[in-house]
Amino acid sequence: MDHFLDHLVESKRLAYVEIVAKTGGSIPCEISQNSVLGNILLVGDAAGHAHPITGAGILNAAIGEKWLGELLQRLLREETYTI
């Protein structure tokens, strides 16, 4: 990142760069086998739905939420409250 920011300054794409903080961490990208615990259902990052290469997860979370919504609608229609 430092090299990239230096390059932006040197190429005059940015006039000045000041790094005020750095952070990092792991990206959950292994789909959890325990996405259901009682009445709690996990989707998105919490369920490991992040893309393993890019770390992106918004699309995966939206798809998971859509599927979860459809599942819950079906369960409520059938009055079946166990998954």
Closest C-alpha to 61, from 83, 37, 31, 38: 31
Residues 50 and 29: beta-carbon distance below 8 Å? yes
Whether pTM > 0.75 for this model: the answer is no
Residues 79 and 63: beta-carbon distance below 8 Å? no
pLDDT in tens, 8-58: 888 888 877 777 887 777 776 676 677 787 878 888 878 888 877 777 888
Identity (one letter) of the amino acid at 46? A
